[in-house]
């Protein structure tokens, strides 16, 4: 495939401000069809963006020969039914996060993608930030040695924070909750601390609560020979202190014009050039299982194995 033709289901706030423009602005990609339950709002979306045409129904969109892929940005409870419909119609699917209400739905969506031999990606879009990719490169290069701990602030959703640290540090193997105390600087003492452990035994700590204070979204990864501190995921300075503090590197990383640019660009490249997906359905299924594990955890209780 040399060019990806998109159909959008659910042209609301996220599509308007975060994901819609990349569908027709990234290379080898175009927006052809738009469906929204409210016809007037769907037609207004087409007029504002000057791309695609409105179609009356979901079935008309997925059965059209004018598109190759469907981007689903509807409420989470509709994701499974719509993804199954699109995949059964032979379309590739990029679905918003959360992929589905639970792991069972995620599994059925993956099975449908396997049967249809089509790609199923999930828009955990922070994986596509240039700053995140730079941090991942630093960690994998060994510049800070072997990672021994990870920390992330609470300026964005818990599930997205967990996914980001999985992407940077490896899959999680264990979950536990404990109460924060005065020694836990920077954490809300009213919220339990979420303590995760990667498969390599690296602890990752964050507040269970999502608390936006207006501060930038940030993270820190500590290695046995240094640290990498990303002060703002959306772009800016990355501080690397390596080799026991002997080397300090400040990296400037630009932001993206739209938050979903990287994840959309990657999905297009996966279809046109065979690039691996930044966030596959399997990745999102594992995240759903982690979130279900958290729902069973109790502060001070036994750790839950994944």
Q: For residue 9, give every residue at least 6 positions away whose Cβ sits within 8 Å of its Cβ, in sequence order, or none.
A: 35, 36, 58, 61, 70, 71, 72, 73, 74, 82, 86
Q: How confident is the model at residue 179 (pLDDT cuts 50, 70, 90)?
A: confident
Q: What pLDDT digit, counting tens, does each position of 149-167 carry?
A: 999 999 999 999 999 999 9
Token pair, residue 177, equals 């909750």
Q: What pLDDT digit, counting tens, does each position of 206-247 carry?
A: 999 888 888 999 999 999 999 999 999 999 899 999 977 778
Give the pLDDT score at 180. Answer: 72
Share of the chain above pLDDT 70, in %: 97
Give the pLDDT score at 187. Answer: 54
Token pair, residue 59, equals 């079935």
Which of these, 202, 250, 239, 244, lies nearest to 226 by C-alpha position? 244
Give the pLDDT score at 246. Answer: 76
Give the pLDDT score at 185. Answer: 45
d(CA 118, CA 164): 25
Q: Is the peptide bond before 98 cis (omega within 30 degrees of 0)?
A: yes
Q: How confident is the model at residue 182 (pLDDT cuts 50, 70, 90)?
A: very low
In this predicted structure, the answer to whether residue 184 has a pLDDT above a threshold of 60 is: no
Q: How confident is the model at residue 189 (pLDDT cuts 50, 70, 90)?
A: low
d(CA 268, CA 81): 23
Mean pLDDT confidence for 76-82:
98
Give the pLDDT score at 132. Answer: 97
């Amino acid at each position: 495939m040399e060019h990806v033709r998109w159909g959008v289901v659910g042209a609301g706030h996220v599509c308007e401000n975060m994901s819609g423009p990349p569908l027709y602005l990234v290379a080898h990609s175009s927006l052809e069809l738009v469906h929204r339950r409210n016809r007037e709002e769907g037609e207004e979306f087409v007029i504002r963006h000057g791309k695609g045409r409105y179609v009356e129904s979901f079935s008309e969109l997925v059965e059209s020969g004018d598109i190759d892929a469907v981007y689903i940005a509807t409420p989470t409870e509709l994701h499974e039914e719509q993804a199954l419909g699109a995949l059964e119609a032979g379309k590739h699917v990029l679905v918003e996060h959360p992929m589905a209400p639970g792991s069972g739905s995620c599994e059925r969506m993956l099975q449908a993608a396997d049967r249809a031999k089509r790609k199923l990606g999930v828009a955990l879009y922070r994986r596509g930030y240039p700053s995140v990719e730079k941090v991942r490169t630093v960690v994998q290069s060994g510049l800070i040695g072997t990672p021994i701990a990870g920390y992330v602030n609470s300026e964005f959703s818990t599930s997205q924070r967990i996914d980001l640290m999985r992407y940077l540090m490896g899959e999680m193997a264990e979950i536990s909750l404990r109460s924060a105390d005065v020694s836990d600087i920077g954490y809300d003492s009213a919220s339990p601390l979420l303590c995760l452990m990667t498969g390599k035994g690296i602890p990752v700590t964050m507040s269970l609560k999502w608390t936006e204070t207006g501060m930038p979204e940030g993270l820190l990864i500590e290695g046995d020979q240094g640290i990498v501190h990303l002060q703002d995921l959306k772009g800016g300075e990355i501080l690397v202190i390596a080799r026991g503090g002997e080397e300090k590197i400040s990296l400037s990383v630009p932001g993206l014009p739209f938050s979903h640019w990287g994840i959309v660009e990657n999905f297009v490249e996966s279809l046109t050039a065979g690039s691996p997906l930044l966030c596959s359905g399997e990745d999102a299924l594992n995240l759903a299982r982690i979130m279900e594990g958290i729902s069973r955890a109790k502060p001070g209780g036994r750790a839950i194995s994944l």
